Amino acid sequence: MMIPDLPDVAQRFIRYARIDTQSDPRSSTSPSTAKQLDLARLLVQELEALGLQDVTLDDYGYVMATLPANVTLAVPTVGWIAHMDTSPDLTGTNVNPQVHLYQGGDLVLDAENGVVLSPREFPDLTQYIGQTLITTDGRTLLGADDKAGIAEIMTALAYLIAHPEIPHGRIRVAFTPDEEIGRGADHFDVARFGADFAYTVDGGELGELSFETFNAARAEITVHGRSVHPGSAKNKMINANEVAMQFHALLPAVERPEFTAGYEGFFHLTSFLGSVEEAHLHYIIRDHDRARFEARKAWLQRAAEFINARYGQPLVQVQVQDQYYNLREKIEPVMHIVDLAKAAMLACGVTPKIVPVRGGTDGARLSYMGLPTPNLFTGGHNFHGRYEYIPIPAMEKAVAVLVELVRRVAEYQP
């Protein structure tokens, strides 16, 4: 089917999506993968070509730049932030974006392997009949999380430069590494960034606006066993795998990601590696409510104490590390920045959808570092997998909202 000429934001996105920037949670470097710098260097070139000032790429892989104000009044400096890495959940190598004029029904992404994007499994597709979509080829993720955000920011910058009649204050831009593995703010220099407040462009479908995230922690459970030949193991062997399964069974089965939504938190077993002698369980713990979040961490400790008491020895050890906290606590004192985003959306014909993030963004940690940062939509769906897609009209709306937002900030009177 003939596809019309693609707008700038879609062309940028496809260009960025083809670059493999997958992050690696097992790496101890910053950025976690050198290939993220391939996109970082391209963005530096494009920012310089647009004429932005103070374009930098630091040793940790953070790209920053400035679009100077075109108004004489003292107005706040706004930050726009998106992340360059893609999720480790599915390969980001050889991403091959496909463009479809969607007419309804199934989209065959990979005929050889039977990968089909269908409204039966993904009913949101029916909203986009008649629109042009960008999808995967069924073999990789797409990377709209968050290369769509990068493309939308870059396109908005280009538009503002081409339309100097639109008033705006100073805009600071940052593209960060390693957000998908929880390290996107590790080396973010808030003082050097120099924004009064910011917005991550890292949300989902058209209209999403978020100023709440999970409280988040990771937990590593180590289980020690005793290996004895199975032929003579009676009353001697302690199978660490069995003990680990007993530990997991003490967690509430209904409080797993596949059974929760909205404001419901969860325990998520992300990996299990074991032998008779030793087993390791890795969990992520999530809850919007801080008290319930603390209770979840305590639950893990009580489960370990129960198992250890049952066996009469310290077989189970629990290590918990907090990752980030609910964004809302830091946004509530400056809710006008959310109100400005709502007004910008409405002015662009977009209905705001205030939703809690069932995850986190760089903005959660940045807000606790002194930079209040709610989250704006990109327009994408089904992130982190082969069924990921993004409607081009939603990307164009995201660009329009960014432009309208900085115009409103320049005219804002508290």
Any binding-site annotation on 180? yes
Q: Which residues contact 59 (CB under 8 A, 6 or more apart)?
A: none
SS (H, E, C) 347-390: HCCCCCEECCCCCCCHHHHHHHCCCCCCEECCCCECCCCCCCEE
Q: Residues 20, 46, 178, 179: which is the catalytic one?
A: 179
Is the Cα torsion angle 300, 302, 306, 309 positive or negative in sign? positive
Q: How far apart are CA 260 and CA 312, in angstroms?
A: 35
Please state whether 261 falls in left (phi above 0), alpha (psi between -120 and 50) or beta: beta
Verify whether residue 85 is a known catalytic residue. Answer: yes
Q: 412: burial class by Cβ within 10 Å (0-12, 13-18, 19+)?
A: middle
Structure tokens at 352: 């705001």
Any binding-site annotation on 5? no
∠131-137-143 over CA atoms, to 5°? 80
Any binding-site annotation on 178? no
Q: Residues 20, 46, 85, 152: which is the catalytic one?
A: 85
Verify whether residue 179 is a known catalytic residue. Answer: yes
Any binding-site annotation on 384? yes
Any binding-site annotation on 202? yes
Structure tokens at 327: 């964004």
Contact at 8 Å (CB) between 93 and 211? no
Binding residues: 83, 145, 180, 202, 384
Binding residues for Zn(2+): 83, 145, 180, 202, 384
Catalytic residue numbers? 85, 179
